[in-house]
Amino acid sequence: MFHIVINRCENVKMQGVKVFADGESPNTDGIHVQYSSDVTILNSRIATGDDCISITQGTSNVWVEDILCGPGHGISVGSLGKTLEEEGVENVTVTSVILSSTTNGVRIKTWGRPSSAFARNIRFQHVVMSDVQNPIIIDQNYCPHNENCPGQDSGVEVSNITYEDIRGTSATRVALKFDCSTATPCTGIQLKNVNLTFKDKPAETLCVNANGTAEGQIQPSNCLGL
């Protein structure tokens, strides 16, 4: 499963961590954080077959900085909302990171089923993407193997999410994807100076039930509702 787990901890600092696993090795998250607060992860190199860093339920006040990630599934908040009664994630900053040839870049992932969980006050800034399949993604319809969740709406509230100074290349045409819940649309998304391209051409966006604002240069074009 995970290489390193921070579980039910307070005031944790990890620095200079190196994790290496084959890109095809399943469930090999580099650093997994849950039910913890005041966690700092600095200056680390992570290559795995799953998330480089995953931040999940019951976690608050996390600072992630100077991370090189790849291969892997990127840096993820979630998955959240697997159960009906679940704690959320809040006050997370991910800054000055490089993602290279990963499946996802910066991701928020929630199960497509009712839940009391939330993801709020999260900031992704100063991020460089290199050949990343889903550079910016919110997926609120996570339902592996289509078991126990098809046709349901995620109850996880996703709000106040900021993407600032995100640049680089997408390995797919859709570089920015906000696939949010019909029951609990994403609110307060802020895009600030985003520049992502696909094969040296303009990339595309997909927004479903996603509301927010944009300022500065935005490429691909902003599709957020107000």
Burial state string for 33-43 with b = 16 or more CB within 10 A and e = fewer than 16: bbebbebebee
Q: Which of 108, 69, 64 minimizes the C-alpha distance to 89?
A: 108
Q: Which residues contact 77 (CB under 8 A, 6 or more apart)?
A: 54, 55, 56, 89, 92, 107, 108, 109, 119, 122
Distance between CA atoms of residues 169 and 89, nearest Å? 28
User: For residues 55-67, b (16+ Cβ closer than 10 Å) or e, as one string?
Assistant: bbbbbbbbebbbb
State residue 146's pLDDT score: 84
Domain range list for the chain: 1-117+140-156, 159-165+183-225
**pLDDT tens, N- to C-terminus, the chain (226 residues):** 899 999 999 999 999 999 999 999 999 999 999 999 999 999 999 999 999 999 999 999 999 999 999 999 999 999 999 999 999 999 999 999 999 999 999 999 999 999 999 999 999 999 999 999 999 999 999 988 888 887 889 999 999 999 999 999 999 999 999 999 999 999 999 999 999 999 988 899 999 999 999 999 999 999 998 6
pLDDT at 131: 98
**CA angle, 202 then 159 then 144, to 5°:** 75
What contacts 124, CB < 8 A, 6 or more positions away? 94, 95, 106, 136, 161, 162, 163, 164, 166
Query: Could you tell me the pTM of the whole model?
Result: 0.97
Domain covering 1-117+140-156 in this structure, CATH number: 2.160.20.10
- Which residue in the list 3, 73, 126, 145 is annotated as catalytic? 73
Residue 18 has a pLDDT of 98
Q: Is 73 a catalytic residue?
A: yes
Q: Are 220 and 204 in contact (CB under 8 A)?
A: yes
Q: Quickly tell me which residue has 């240069």 as its tokens.
A: 217
